[in-house]
Amino acid sequence: MMDRNEYENAEQVRLILKYWFYSRISGCVGLLFLFVTLITPNWIRINSTLSKINLGLWNICLDNTCREVSGHAPILDTCRILLSISTLSGLVAVSAGLISNPRAGQSKWPLITSLATALTSLLAIVLFSVSVMSQLTFFREEREAEEIQFHYVLSYSFIGCCVGCILFFISWVLFVLVKIKESAIMPPPCPVGPENTAETDSIGVDADRSIEQSLSGIGCAYGVM
């Protein structure tokens, strides 16, 4: 029969494993979204009576013919760097989450890198939206002056980046919950019995017994299922 502390510890461990599992899933799916959006040229789709244009971070496609974006655009370069850093950070976060073992104590790398991935991708999204939308507004005014029908929509690459950012925020929150649950686990009380109260002939025997009890307490805290 489990006492109250052992039962509460068992519940905490179940929640830790549950949160850890879902944080891994969120990180893996989020990394997939970020990688796809980094390389696909479908952040903005521009439709007019003359042509259809798809704009990405690296390429621009005119009527299904793609080429590399020419010229030097500081804001676009910044978005590329931010999203590249975000993808690399997400790779580290997913790798650390898959390698780390929640039973052996959580590594801080998944917690830190998940937050870094979410923040850098969010910054890239905001910067791209503000800069590109202002340019498109100017472009639309110029085309309207020429009486050319023109409209644009955010395409699936932009939406995918938003989804990846949200998933890494979710992964970070789950890792935070894991840390909270870890701190809530109470070590079991030291067993009291005749063998613990009897006098020993050697101080070294008492020290060895104390170490064994400490190790058994740690094993109990994370070993209860």
Is the pLDDT assigned to residue 109 strictly greater than 70?
yes
pLDDT at residue 170, as a whole number:
95
Percent of the chain with pLDDT over 70: 63
The CA distances from residue 157 to 19, 53, 73, 154, 206, in Å, are 28, 14, 20, 8, 65
The answer to whether 117 touches 90, Cβ cutoff 8 Å, is yes
Q: For 113-133, what is the mean pLDDT?
A: 89
Least confident of 8-12, 191-195, 198-202: 198-202
Neighbouring residues of 168: CB distance < 8 A, sequence distance ≥ 6: 26, 27, 30, 90, 93, 114, 115, 117, 118, 121
The answer to whether 201 touches 39, Cβ cutoff 8 Å, is no
DSSP string computed for 150-180: EEEEE-HHHHHHHHHHHHHHHHHHHHHHHHH
pLDDT at residue 8, as a whole number:
66
Q: For 121-134, what is the mean pLDDT?
A: 84
What is the torsion angle, in degrees rounded to the nearest 10, for the CA atoms of residue 163, residue 165, residue 170 and residue 174?
Answer: 140
pLDDT at residue 221, as a whole number:
41
